[in-house]
Amino acid sequence: MTQSGDANGKKRAARVAVVAAGVVSPLGFGLSETLDALRKARDCVTPVTRFSVTQCRCKTAGQVPDDRLLNKKRDTRAQRLHRASHMMIEALGEALAYEPQLKPELLVIGTTSGGMSYGEDYYRSLHRHRSLRHAPAWIANYPAQKPLIDAQEAFGISAPCQVIANACASGTNAIGHAFECVRSGRYQRVLTGGYDALSELVFVGFDSLQASTPEKCRPFDRHRTGMVLGEGAAILALENLDSAHARGARILAEITGYGVSTDNFHLTQPDPSGVGPRRAMERAIESTGTEALRLDYINAHGTATELNDAAEGKAISELFDGVPVSSTKSMMGHSLGAAGAVEAVVCLLALRHQFLPANINFRAPDEALDLNIVGNEARPAPLRTVMSNSFGFGGTNASIVMHKFET
């Protein structure tokens, strides 16, 4: 099944359904646990235990517990896999369990670091002249595509895969690219999402930039002092809506728009005018083909850094009047390449269960930002259309629009 035509014989874009999803993050394993954490506005940022942070300002992160992620993997091969591979296997497994008939033609996944911690082990051993007995496993697990390949092998999937590494916009870029692949009619079924695992090098790097906070993560708060890192993986199964209907699939939501832009302003800072985020959001709305689109909620990029929140907040307030906004990074940290994928699942759950996720640790509004922040507690709300934002280093900006499916 491909694109259909209108009365004049012109092709129209295919509609794109979300037919399954899977997630693992500091909020929990799977959609049910994630929903429970979101409804309770649970703070899932904890003291870092995976490596020493004694010389860092920031001491916390959103972490997926190893006792659940790794201990149930008994066979020798599984024990050799990187944590990122285990997270991808968990997320993909949930999605395929929900939609076992899905036969993907393509996988598009966003990430930033791959098996970075194994790369750290390898180079430390070289520098310190230690044994390289484990070097083959370290090197094999280092490439960014390895967790995706491991997940494919775990479930017998042989479809081609594409990896997008575009800073913190990677996960949303992956979903947007997959959306365009299906909407164009070139593909009927695409698995998409993102992953990233917490690594010492990245953690210390953000701490050195003084982008990380030694306090609570407070997006859009007047007294925000920086971000905390996180980790996770999420998968969404996208399908041509007509095809999904024809086979009787359960349609969870519809992706209707995708927009991108690039600031080209600074290596690590956004353009303070907010022009980059604004263009991405405008283009996502234009992509929907709806002239007067009403948004009911925005899941903001919201890292809680001074400059990021100011630029994004300015762009949102210029485009929208009073739309509810929250950054769920306040609950689970910033999972970099996985963030857009995990937050797309948050938007999916918000649409399915009709509530606004909370922006926790919010104490005082920033007087310079005219925003309707969903402060500290989730609340019920009728939602039809939501937006998810992801903005990264180098001015990479991406937004997607998701719509409640209505028969």
Q: Are strands 385-392 and 396-403 parallel, antiparallel or unpaired?
A: antiparallel
Strand partners, 147: none
Q: To which residue do tokens 């925003």 refer?
A: 371
Sequence-separated (6 or more) residues with CB below 8 Å from residue 215: 225, 226
Confirm if 134 and 142 have CB atoms less than 8 A apart.
no
Alpha helix positions (H), 258-388: 275-287, 306-319, 329-332, 339-353
Which token pair is 111? 């990430």
168 is catalytic: yes
134 is catalytic: no
Q: Are strands 253-262 and 396-403 parallel, antiparallel or unpaired?
A: antiparallel
For residues 81 and 221, give the distance between their C-alpha atoms in angstroms, rounded to a whole number. 39
CB atoms within 10 A of CB 247: 10
Number of residues in the chain: 407
Largest CA distance in the chain: 72
For residues 332 and 114, give the distance between their C-alpha atoms in angstroms, rounded to a whole number. 20
Helix, strand or coil, per DSSP, at residue 90: helix
For residues 83 and 381, give the distance between their C-alpha atoms in angstroms, rounded to a whole number. 36
What angle do helix axes 339-353 and 170-183 make, rounded to 10 degrees?
60
Out of 181, 334, 347, 403, the active site residue is 334
Strand partners, 400: 258, 388
334 is catalytic: yes
Out of 44, 56, 58, 168, the active site residue is 168
Out of 82, 177, 301, 403, the active site residue is 301
Q: Whose CA is closest to 198, among 33, 337, 361, 388?
A: 337
If you write DSSP's letter for every residue of 104-133 in order, what string do you get? Answer: -SEEEEE-S-SSHHHHHHHHHHHHHT---T
Confirm if 154 and 99 have CB atoms less than 8 A apart.
no
Enzyme catalytic residues: 168, 301, 334
